[in-house]
Structure 1
Amino acid sequence: MTLSPDEVAGVVDLFGELSPAELARAREELGYRLSEEIPETDVRAAVGAYTLVPYDRDGTRRIAVGPTAFPVVPDGGEDLPHILDIESCAPAKDALVAATLDRFNEESLLALRVGNPVECERLVDVSYDIEAWADVSLTPLRDRLDGATR
């Protein structure tokens, strides 16, 4: 079974944030409940789409819902908080935003350097989501990305 990025975000959103190991446990439990394996590639796709954002909190890797997410709890997922012994925890917003901006800047500069108009166009779209989610302005970088799509 494959989960959409928003469904993977829905699993994470049930807990606020998860470690990579906790997310793997949640994915395994959900797969068990649905009698189908949920691949790790679903998590990677959600991260790639900025639907999930990995970040460091107090020296520990965490994963939280990102700027492009519209979390949807997948079928069978609503009971995960009761089944798994994982404490709910709100993300550290400042650290989460910083990690998102760092990644966005790195990916944008790489796309501009290699001249990848498709990636530049994707990042233009992501920039609007980041601005709304993090209350920041990415206009200068977005303008450069937009210029590279023409």
Structure 2
Amino acid sequence: MADGSGPSVAARDDLAGVVDLFEWLTRAELSNALSELAFKQRAEVDEDAIDAAIDLAVAEYALVPAPSGALTGDAPADDGAAADGEADPTAESTALAVGPAAFPTLPEGAEDLPHILDVPERGVDREPLADAVLDRLREEAVEAINGGDDDRLETLADVTYDVEAWAPVDVDPIRTRILAEVDE
């Protein structure tokens, strides 16, 4: 789990593959699953690397915080909400689902995780999940525009295409605004 090179695209897709096995996992459950995989692979567990990989997967929309209205099963009671009511993707109780930028793959040994972890049957309703992703994309686009963060805007522009293929939502107004800003 720790090779010193930092999280990669392959790592985020592996994370999405692990989450996909269960439909959704809390951040703490995903961290536990990754620790179990490291143990199975006789690798050293690096909690900081696991946190960084999860953070990257969330930042790049491979994993997305899922609102409780999109979840079936034992949804976390506090939905990982911060004081302002927004989902806090760093909270251990935040539910994470596979996002639009993921190409879920299973890391070696992951097929055994449902037998190792005590996770009940779960599901995700894509419509409220897609609405939450679209809201987040809008907010992050505004933040990046206001902050003059061209790198983030380019990432978000790419994400708009992923979202469009992933869910029946209209991202054209967001993409148009982002691209207008990037092209300036």
TM-score for the superposition, normalised by structure 2: 0.76
Choose from 91, 116, 125 the match for 2:124. Answer: 91
Which 5+ residue runs of structure 1 have no aligned equivalent?
none
- Of the candidates 19, 22, 34, which is equivalent to residue 15 of structure 1? 22
Question: Contact 1:7/1:73 (CA < 8 Å) preserved in 2?
Answer: yes
Alpha-carbon deviation of 1:35? Answer: 2.0
Q: Post-superposition shift, 1:143?
A: 1.1
Per the TM alignment, residue 81 of structure 1 is displaced from its structure 2 partner at its CA by 0.5
Per the alignment, residue 136 of structure 1 pairs with 169
Once residues 12 and 108 of structure 1 are traced to their aligned partners in structure 2, the CA distance between those partners, rounded to angstroms, is 26
In angstroms, what is the RMSD of aligned CA positions?
1.6
1:111 to 2:180 alignment:
no
- Letter aligned with residue 32 of structure 2: R
Q: Which amino acid aligns with 2:58?
A: V
SS of 2:182's equivalent?
coil
Name the counterpart of 1:24: 31
Q: How many residues align?
A: 150
Corresponding residue number in structure 2 for 1:79: 112
For the residues of structure 1 that align with 2:181 and 2:172, how far apart are their CA atoms?
14
2:56 pairs with one of 31, 34, 45: 45
Shift of 1:41: 1.1
Counterpart Cα distance in 2 of 1:99 and 1:131: 14
Structure 1 CA distance for aligned equivalents of residues 131 and 172 of structure 2: 17
Deviations 1:74-101 (A, max 9, x none): 0111110111111231113233112211
* Alignment check: 8 A CA contact 2:101 2:159 kept: yes
Q: Confirm or deny: 8 A CA contact 2:134 2:171 kept in the other structure.
A: no
TM-score, with length taken from structure 1: 0.92
Tell me the distance in 2 between the aligned counterparts of 1:88 and 1:13: 12
Pairing 1:48-59 to 2, within 5 Å after superposition? 48-57=59-68, 59=77
Deviation (angstroms), 1:123: 0.8
8 Å Cα contact 1:17/1:88 also seen in 2: no
Contact 1:57 1:92 in 2 (8 A): no
Deviating above 2 A after TM superposition, structure 1's stretches of 4 or more consecutive aligned residues are: 58-61
